[in-house]
Structure 1
Amino acid sequence: MPPPEVSIAEVVSREVQPWDEFTGRVSAVESVELRPRVSGYVERVAFKEGQEVAKGDLLFVIDQRRYRADLDRAQAQLAQARSESELARTQHARAQSLVEAKAISTEEFESRRAGRSQAEAAVRAAEAAVANARLDLQFTEVRAPISGRAGRALVTAGNLAQADATVLTTLVSLDPVHVHFEADEQTWQRYAAQAGEQRAVQDNAVRVGLGGEGGEDRFRHAGKVDFVDNQIDSGTGTIRVRAVVPNPDRLLTPGLFARVRMQGRDRHQALLIDDQAVLTDQDRKFVYVLGEGNAAERRDITLGRASGDLREVSAGLAPGDKVIVHGVQKVFFPGMPVSPTTIEMGGAPQVASAGSGPAGPAGGGQ
């Protein structure tokens, strides 16, 4: 039989930026349960459920008639207090001229001065009552405290809303969003050793991908770490980390499952191979490399992180080694001669004969 045809590729040696991958959840930066500040019957719902609203937009209107009456009464009491204050001021001025002429007693003068002070205090109290009544009237118009997306109206027109108790609707901000995930102890210690500080992952770049996003650009949303918890959870052996991610296209909805890649800081030179070249022998990983006389030689290897479409090899290979990538299922024993065709690492197979397609990592166990 002629030697089997295989595709070989030279081990790639290049500088890589490591990434660690985690599971996370998207959450809103700001989330509000909207409650009224005054009690009353809801007169109108002024927004469309599920729409985006801007800060200050009118959302609910509570019956204003009672609060308008309270404001009118407070304004009338203020006018009365100002009139009495003016009279007390006039009486005090007259008493001051009379006491200088010794036409009235000092006791009566002190009484009129005290009356003026009481009238001025009453004016200030009436002004505060007007301000409070005006504030209550403003609170009958419930406005959005943040910009974001409104939920459904939990209270409709005609229902009674209790101050500080009834939830009218919910608001969540949309841009940016937070992504919460948890890093294990070993990963945390590695980052701490690289940075030489406790806030080891602060400001690290992250890439976020959603469950429904695939392909080469599946981690398409870029952000950075902005918060790390102050302790490790002893129950799970993890520490909570939070990233902030811009969301201009509104694809990151609060509550979504997300995959997070966090960028490490230790750029290093690495050897990379195609995952399709890796075979499994019980608990060991190995590849076949092209040896002298086009013979297939077995090399036990230690795998590292994924780097794009390739996989790091931390031990077992050297620069310049040529690895059999496609057709490895036709290599039945070490030292078997093969007919090689050279391709780029990660490229398509060039083996012409049938059954020479790519083999999976477990396809050639010994």
Structure 2
Amino acid sequence: MNYHSTSEYSENAPKLDEAPVGLDGQPERKSSRRLWVWVGIAVLLAAVIAGAYYFVTGGDGAATPAADRDEQAPRVSVISPGQATIEGEISATGTLAARRDIPVGVVGEGGRVVAVAAEQGEWVNAGQVLVSIDRSVQNQQARAQAAQVEVARSDAQLAQSNLDRALQLVDRGFISRADVDRLTATRDAARARVNVAQAQLSELQARNARLNVVAPVSGLVLERSVEPGQTVSAGSPPLFRIARGGEMELLARVGESDLARLSTGVQATVTPAGTDKAFTGQVWQLAPTIDEQNRQGVARISLPYASELRPGGFATAVIKSGTIVAPLLPESAVLSDNDGSFVFIVGEGNKAVRRSVTTGMVTSEGIAITQGLDGTERVVLRAGGFVTEGETIAPQNTTVRGG
């Protein structure tokens, strides 16, 4: 009976190669899920390895050559600037003014203005009467002095006649030599009084003439500040301002470094504000001092008369500053940071190499490079801001400047 029980237990026991059975009569799934996880991981690793192999071999089972790797480098435009002759120009702004602004005031004793013969904007000639001043009293004084001249002349004639008669009698012994000497002295004094009276008359006439305010130079009347009936004197403010010859100038404010590059006689083009008309002039004077506040100096540009040039107006100027020979780069090629201006050039192995440069004048065609380049380098023309030093690039040559 015991044998039967043992055999029966052996028949009902689960076999080792069979999966455990749950309460619902189905095999347990825990081991099955674990198996599928490991299978998924293996497939993913195989895919990664295959992708890396394809990337390295280029899909043909062989490693990618260096030339193919270069094709994958970023393409950038490069330029060999060479050496260019650059016409230097300096842009400046300033205020228009009369080149020689002549104030005209009262030079005599003054008085009441009876007439004004000039207006603003009119041309006047040297010596032309601008203002007439009442001289009724002065004219009477001149007449009185003229009469004094006649009196002195009569006295002189009488003294001369007395002397002549005395000289005729002295040989006869009727008049002594002392009397003759006295009469001669009287005649000389009378002549001197004539000269004094005449000088006083001339002085009065000159004073009267100075009552009229006249133009000291020929030119354009810029301001008039006098009206008929006004009382003026030698201490009065100027009655007129005249631009001698109508000549104008631009007081151009130029930076300290730019001023050092200028010289007198260079040509400049001036354009007044509010108009597109340009006028040609030349620098005739450079300021000997620099403003301590803004580090600027004044370049005075002479201009011929034109109705569009009004003193006090604003204008811009383009001044020629000579020529230099240097590489010329577009603005896109020149970068800057805290260390200064720089460019990227193509180095050995097509590596991007940073090169510090010194920039010069800026023209409509680009920026002159005064230091750092000799013109033979290949300079990154565009996308310089996206290139890092040491990066491998694929340079694409463009048109050569100045070469």
TM-score in terms of structure 1 length:
0.70
| 2:396 pairs with 1:335 | no
Q: What is the one-letter code of the residue matched to 1:300? A: R
Deviation (angstroms), 1:151: 3.6
| 2:209 pairs with 1:138 | yes
Aligned residues: 328
Aligned to 1:116: 187
Q: Is the 8 A contact 1:301 1:314 kept in 2?
A: no
Deviation (angstroms), 1:240: 6.6
Aligned to 2:83: 13
Mapping 1:212-251, distance limit 5 Å: 212=273, 220-225=280-285, 229=288, 243=300, 245-249=302-306
Q: Is the 8 A contact 1:299 1:317 kept in 2?
A: no
Deviation (angstroms), 1:62: 0.8
Aligned to 2:363: 308
Q: Measured at CA, do residues 307 and 214 of structure 1 come closer, stay the same or move farther in structure 2, by a change above 3 Å?
A: farther
| 2:376 pairs with 1:320 | yes
Match of 2:242 among 136, 157, 171: 171
Residue deviations 1:221-254 (CA, integer Å, cap 9, x gap): 32233x664xx67967979776462434365554
Q: Is the 8 A contact 2:82 2:401 kept in 1?
A: no
- Distance (Å, rounded) in 2 between the aligned partners of 1:214 and 1:269: 34
Q: Measured at CA, do residues 180 and 114 of structure 1 come closer, stay the same or move farther in structure 2, by a change above 3 Å?
A: farther
Mapping 1:86-105, distance limit 5 Å: 86-105=157-176
Q: Is the 8 A contact 1:10 1:322 kept in 2?
A: yes
State the Cα RMSD in Å: 4.3
Q: Is the 8 A contact 1:288 1:297 kept in 2?
A: yes
Q: Measured at CA, do residues 6 and 144 of structure 1 come closer, stay the same or move farther in structure 2, by a change above 3 Å?
A: farther
| 2:190 pairs with 1:129 | no
Deviation (angstroms), 1:27: 4.7
Deviation (angstroms), 1:255: 4.6
Q: Is the 8 A contact 2:346 2:353 kept in 1?
A: no
- Distance (Å, rounded) in 2 between the aligned partners of 1:42 and 1:282: 68
Deviation (angstroms), 1:285: 2.4
- Distance (Å, rounded) in 2 between the aligned partners of 1:296 and 1:212: 50
Aligned to 2:354: 299
- Distance (Å, rounded) in 2 between the aligned partners of 1:325 and 1:52: 58
Match of 2:105 among 35, 57, 60: 35
Stretch of structure 1 that moved more, 87-96 or 27-36: 27-36
Deviation (angstroms), 1:129: 1.9
- Distance (Å, rounded) in 2 between the aligned partners of 1:344 and 1:14: 7
Residue deviations 1:130-166 (CA, integer Å, cap 9, x gap): 2122212322321111233324432211111113535
Q: What is the one-letter code of the residue matched to 2:367? A: R
Q: What is the one-letter code of the residue matched to 1:205? A: V
Q: What is the one-letter code of the residue matched to 2:139? A: R
| 2:272 pairs with 1:205 | no
Match of 1:97, SS state, is helix
Residue deviations 1:97-138 (CA, integer Å, cap 9, x gap): 222322123333222212211111111112212212221232
- Distance (Å, rounded) in 2 between the aligned partners of 1:248 and 1:28: 9
Residue deviations 1:294-331 (CA, integer Å, cap 9, x gap): x6834323233215323221333232334444555665
Q: Measured at CA, do residues 63 and 308 of structure 1 come closer, stay the same or move farther in structure 2, by a change above 3 Å?
A: same
Match of 1:75, SS state, is helix
Q: Is the 8 A contact 1:204 1:264 kept in 2?
A: no
Stretch of structure 1 that moved more, 253-262 or 122-131: 253-262
Aligned to 2:325: 269
Greater share of residues in helix: 2
Q: Measured at CA, do residues 61 and 250 of structure 1 come closer, stay the same or move farther in structure 2, by a change above 3 Å?
A: same
Residue deviations 1:35-75 (CA, integer Å, cap 9, x gap): 22232100011111233333223211111322332332222
Q: What is the one-letter code of the residue matched to 2:103? A: E
- The structure with the largest alpha-carbon Rg is 2
| Identical columns (%) | 22
Stretch of structure 1 that moved more, 15-24 or 121-130: 15-24
Q: Measured at CA, do residues 137 and 328 of structure 1 come closer, stay the same or move farther in structure 2, by a change above 3 Å?
A: same
Q: Measured at CA, do residues 248 and 5 of structure 1 come closer, stay the same or move farther in structure 2, by a change above 3 Å?
A: farther
Q: Measured at CA, do residues 122 and 26 of structure 1 come closer, stay the same or move farther in structure 2, by a change above 3 Å?
A: same
Q: Is the 8 A contact 2:116 2:130 kept in 1?
A: yes
Deviation (angstroms), 1:277: 2.1
Match of 1:73 among 144, 151, 159: 144
Deviation (angstroms), 1:339: 5.0
Deviation (angstroms), 1:219: 9.3
Q: Is the 8 A contact 2:113 2:132 kept in 1?
A: yes
Match of 1:342, SS state, is coil
Mapping 1:273-292, distance limit 5 Å: 273-289=329-345
| 2:229 pairs with 1:158 | yes
Stretch of structure 1 that moved more, 42-51 or 331-340: 331-340
- Distance (Å, rounded) in 2 between the aligned partners of 1:59 and 1:296: 79
- Distance (Å, rounded) in 2 between the aligned partners of 1:11 and 1:213: 38
Q: Measured at CA, do residues 51 and 331 of structure 1 come closer, stay the same or move farther in structure 2, by a change above 3 Å?
A: farther
Q: What is the one-letter code of the residue matched to 1:30? A: R
Deviation (angstroms), 1:83: 2.1
